[in-house]
Chains A and B, each alone.
Chain A
């Protein structure tokens, strides 16, 4: 796999985490079942199948305050309790590892260096909801992770930790890996289900929600990789202990993928509620001592925040929401003073234009319009009315589409215009870049 001469990039085993749970004690080849058990792995699964009732597991997760790590931050315990546990029909559990958001690379590292924690978390979830079939949908652009996960599954199967009659408890759970082909839209839960069924990945109209009409029309629960990875720790140490790690209503730790203009980009696991300044310090501070200009705190679809707001914010769901953005998937994109905000927005708009599935009109047409207008402004061909038009088109996409991709394309546009309007105006009036002039 690749050239061995390239030095290993310090993605997650660097010891600069704060009280890590998922990424604790990892080494580049410490991913096998032997290493995982040595780190205390599969203890939680044993405890669950031998001593706990399904309702107790859900109650424990509810007590932990664990919120979905994929972006929306929906309480996981509540989601699990929506599943008709007693209904004697086939139900499915799906892990969403289709990590396509620009800036996000946490699931990749979790699955590559600690795949068994996800397997254990999924087995526990399956036990809690009475599910016997699970799938892990892995993004198509990280093929080696898919292969690694298959190997981990073989190990777990050989050890009797998934499959028929797990640990002689009478509980059976079969888990399979599935890979996509890299479409961003397949990270949307209903598009993921369509893709898993072998259809083209286009989101379904909701309601009905997957908890009642999911994979193959059966009740289905979909959670993010990191959410499942958080479960074993909660079972081992209790929900209350997990809640105490973070802030109220924002329990536990979160893996933040820091990219952009920092000295040491990579994955950092820190308790929710840690100040952003501390996180930036862990990542080595700004590259070459440049000044911080803007941060997208939760992946490219979340609103951008200027430096001064960001430096005063804590990294948790509620604080970032108060600051005017969203925690999303925890992809922190850091931009320094040399970055032209118009160019940044152009890149983002192009991504959504490229990735819109084309199913519904506002998004299919609107994302193209947004990109073309930003492109025009960036090239110095914009007119003064363009800014109002951009804002209007973005506003008209929001909330009118089947899935959230329309919102995701519109939100950055509105936020960039709100916080960095002067740069856009400079591009229109002077037909060149404000940043290029200043530096």
Chain B
């Protein structure tokens, strides 16, 4: 078992678990889209990005293995910005307007 801290709460999870599992065990909700507990991990929607102490970038909770003494922040401003702004604005508000695929080329 590995002990870590998520949003200030201590939690123990089996070795090899991901940050997402630890957050779920505490009942914390990390926004996610491509993650599902019964599917293989793809880590490509980038919606579950969380802040991890000492990591320079926000990391995907679904694909980041837990390490002893890790400190995770799922709702810090860095994590929130990463989750919300991962591609600028949400897809229905594309800054480029409706797709005009390769017009003019």
Interface residues of A (CB under 8 A from B): 205, 207, 350, 359-362, 365-366, 368-369, 372-373, 375-376, 379, 386, 389, 392-393, 396-397, 399-402
- B87 within 8 A of partner (CB): yes
Complex alpha-carbon distance, A395 and B94, angstroms: 15
CB distance from A199 to the nearest CB of B (A): 14
6 contacts between A and B (CB under 8 A): A360-B43, A361-B86, A372-B96, A393-B95, A399-B56, A399-B58
Taking a contact as CB atoms closer than 8 A, the residue among A375, A376, A401 that contacts B46 in the complex is A401
Q: How far is the CA of A375 from the CA of B60 in the complex (A)?
A: 32
Complex CA gap A401/B60 in Å reads 10
What mask results when residues 37 to 58 of chain B are scored 1 for a CB within 8 Å of chain A, else 0? Answer: 0000111111101000000111
Main SS of chain A's interface residues? helix
Question: Which residues on B sit within 8 Å (CB–CB) of A392?
Answer: 85, 88, 95
Residue of B nearest to A203 (CB): B44
Among B41, B46, B58, find the residue whose CB has the most chain A CB atoms closer than 10 A: B46
The answer to whether A396 touches B95 (Cβ under 8 A) is no
* B residues apposed to A, CB below 8 Å: 41-47, 49, 56-58, 60, 63, 65, 82, 85-88, 91, 94-97, 99-100, 104-105
Q: Are B95 and A389 in contact (CB under 8 A)?
A: yes
A397, B105: Cα distance in complex, Å: 25
B58, A400: Cβ atoms under 8 Å?
yes
**Chain B minimum-CB-distance residue to A373:** B96
Find chain B residues with CB under 8 A from A365 CB.
87, 91, 94
Chain A residues in 8 Å Cβ range of B88: 366, 369, 389, 392-393, 396
For A400, the chain B residues whose CB sits under 8 A away are 46, 49, 57-58, 82, 86
Closest-by-CB residue of A relative to B103 is A375
Kindly list chain B residues whose C-beta atoms are within 8 Å of the C-beta of A393.
87-88, 95
Chain A contacts of B47 at CB under 8 A? Answer: 361
Chain A residues within 8 Å of B46, by CB: 360-362, 400-401
What chain A residues lie within 8 Å of B94 (beta carbons)?
365, 369
Look across to chain A and name the residue whose beta carbon is closest to the beta carbon of B105: A350
Please name all residues of chain A whose beta carbon is closer than 8 Å to the beta carbon of B105 when the two chains form the complex: 350
Complex contacts, B45 vs chain A, CB 8 Å? 360-361
Residue of B41, B86, B95, B104 near A379 (CB, 8 A) is B104
Residues in B neighbouring A350, C-beta threshold 8 A: 105
B71 to chain A, nearest CB (A): 18
CA distance A373 to B85 in the complex (A): 18
Contacts of B91 in A (CB 8 A): 365
Task: Kindly provide the distance from the CB of A396 to the nearest chain B CB, expressed in whole angstroms.
Answer: 5
* Cβ contacts under 8 Å, B96 to chain A: 368-369, 372-373, 376
A396 to B91, CA, bound (A): 13
Q: Per a CB cutoff under 8 Å, which of B41, B44, B99 touches A368?
A: B99
How far is B60's CA from A255's CA once the two chains are assembled, in angstroms? 37
Complex-state Cα separation, A360 to B91, whole angstroms: 14
Is there contact, CB below 8 Å, between A396 and B57?
Answer: no
Chain B nearest CB: distance from A355 CB in Å?
14
A312 to chain B, nearest CB (A): 30
The contact of B85 among A205, A372, A396, by CB within 8 Å, is A396
Most buried by A among B42, B57, B95, B97: B95
